[in-house]
Amino acid sequence: MGHRVKRRILSVVGARPNFMKVAPIARACTAYAEYIEHAICHTGQHYDYTMSQAFFEDLDLPEPLFYLGVGSGSHAEQTARIMLAFEPICTEWKPDLVIVVGDVNSTIACTLVAVKLGIQTAHVEAGLRSFDRTMPEEINRVATDALCDWLFCTEQSGVDNLLREGASPDRVFFVGNTMIDSLLAAMPKVEACTIRQELGLSRGGYAVVTLHRPSNVDDPIQLAELLEVLSDLSQRMPVVFPVHPRTQSNIEQFGLSARVTKAKQLLLIPPQRYVHFVALVRDAALVLTDSGGIQEETTVLGVPCITLRTTTERPSTIEYGTNVLVPPKRERITAAIEEVLAASPRSHQIPPLWDGHAAERIVRIIAERCLGINCIA
């Protein structure tokens, strides 16, 4: 590494929820531009325009220096293809540190490659645990945290989980939530966005839905049951449902399309770009979702969130925020909707350090502690 002046950081993005976590890190690195060269590697796990490119635009995320174009496949295929493509990037570009975020297949694949090449690795959003090992993301989280050198946590539960698993306390940092950095940074664009008006929706008068967990959408009976609930709810208020590609193809494959087109106020729309989606959520009466990140976004926006799962790896969204866990069964969801719509707005707090400055803390720690850069940035 001898005469290279700047230290190199390579951040990995792959799937939709990664983009908002890396954007603020890329921005925070510019404060260290004299010392740090930051680049992005996009594995191409997600590749549709609205699942990927539109997020770069909305988040002001710099163009990736490397694009691996791995696409979809089984878990083994996808993970293996990412590893094969990422290894030569590491050996040729020689990053001093690799940053991985979240819990997708790109996260574990790139961690495994970098660690074995002796490159320092940092995991952003470390320590979250649903304790449900049937979720592919849980396997990715546990394995990534076991391997990474530096562990950055969004909430106290992450710190507690890591320490209980034996992580060394001087490598675990509670820094806040970079997804919320992006949310707060996007607010001016969100304010200017007119998607709600274009869809003819009134403020506080509709529901937003997202579904893509394999446990909810890969089983025909389960998916049909959830679509029934949405159809019921749409009798009461418009229901906006940006449909994830996995869910879309299952609706078609299981022959459920007729069921959803029957419900007049059930609005199935393509996956939305970031600013549009946040604008829709911000003005919704309630959100029904099985996403991880949306539990966090609704917490900060103060919008009631019904999470259609039996576990969450983000308990602070329940402790502080507006989130409730509801098993994905028709009667249970219907009762929870009634409760939310009858209740006066629930008071909620913002979880500690979800203040828009998490990425600055992360980059400072990486610069000073991990890369040994002595500077006042």
- For β-strands 266-269 and 150-153, DSSP reports them as unpaired
Residue 325 β-bridge partners: 307
Residue 105: CB minimum distance to ligand UD1, A: 4
Q: Is 105 in the site for ligand UD1 (CB under 6 A)?
A: yes
Q: Is 153 in the site for ligand UD1 (CB under 6 A)?
A: no
Question: Which residue from 7, 8, 16, 282 is in contact with ligand UD1, where contact means CB under 6 A?
Answer: 16
Q: Is 212 in the site for ligand UD1 (CB under 6 A)?
A: yes
Q: Is 46 in the site for ligand UD1 (CB under 6 A)?
A: yes
Q: Is 95 in the site for ligand UD1 (CB under 6 A)?
A: no
**Restricting to residues 225-264, which ones interact with ligand UD1 according to CB under 6 A?**
244-246, 249
Q: Is 138 in the site for ligand UD1 (CB under 6 A)?
A: no
Q: Which is nearer to ligand UD1, 273 or 361 (CB)?
A: 273
Instruction: Provide the 10 A C-beta neighbour count for residue 57.
Output: 12
38 in catalytic set = no
Q: Is 181 in the site for ligand UD1 (CB under 6 A)?
A: no
Q: Is 54 in the site for ligand UD1 (CB under 6 A)?
A: no
Q: Is 276 in the site for ligand UD1 (CB under 6 A)?
A: no
Q: Which is nearer to ligand UD1, 50 or 316 (CB)?
A: 50
Candidate list 46, 123, 212, 276, residue with the active-site label: 212
Please write down the HEC assignment for all residues of the chain.
CCCCCCEEEEEEECCHHHHHHHHHHHHHHHHHCCCEEEEEEECCCCCCHHHCHHHHHHHCCCCCCEECCCCCCCHHHHHHHHHHHHHHHHHHHCCCEEEEECCCHHHHHHHHHHHHCCCEEEEECCCCCCCCCCCHHHHHHHHHHHHCCEEEECCHHHHHHHHHCCCCHHHEEECCCHHHHHHHHHHHHHHHCCHHHHCCCCCCCCEEEECCCHHHHCCHHHHHHHHHHHHHHCCCCCEEEECCHHHHHHHHHCCCHHHHHHCCCEEEECCCCHHHHHHHHHCCCEEEECCCHHHHHHHHHCCCEEECCCCCCCCHHHHCCCEEECCCCHHHHHHHHHHHHHCCCCCCCCCCCCCCCHHHHHHHHHHHHHCCCCCCC
Candidate segments 42-50, 149-157, 343-351, 361-369, binder of ligand UD1 by CB under 6 A:
42-50
Question: Which residue from 20, 22, 28, 45 is in contact with ligand UD1, where contact means CB under 6 A?
Answer: 45
Phi, psi of 43 (to 5 degrees): -75, -20
Question: Which residue from 34, 69, 72, 197 is in contact with ligand UD1, where contact means CB under 6 A?
Answer: 72
Residue 296: CB minimum distance to ligand UD1, A: 13
Candidate segments 5-13, 43-51, 179-187, 349-357, binder of ligand UD1 by CB under 6 A:
43-51
Residue 48: CB minimum distance to ligand UD1, A: 4
Candidate segments 13-21, 87-95, 229-237, 309-317, binder of ligand UD1 by CB under 6 A:
13-21
Q: Is 137 in the site for ligand UD1 (CB under 6 A)?
A: yes
Question: Which residue from 39, 83, 100, 104 is in contact with ligand UD1, where contact means CB under 6 A?
Answer: 104
Candidate segments 47-55, 86-94, 169-177, 313-321, binder of ligand UD1 by CB under 6 A:
47-55
Report the half-sphere exposure of 276 (CA within 13 A, side-chain side). Answer: 17
Instruction: Provide the 10 A C-beta neighbour count for residue 30.
Output: 12
Residue 102: CB minimum distance to ligand UD1, A: 7
Count of residues of this chain found to bind ligand UD1 when the rule CB under 6 A is applied: 20
Which residues are at the interface with ligand UD1 (CB under 6 A)?
Answer: 15-17, 45-48, 51-52, 72, 103-105, 136-137, 212, 244-246, 249
Give the residue numbers annotated as catalytic, written as ranges. Answer: 212
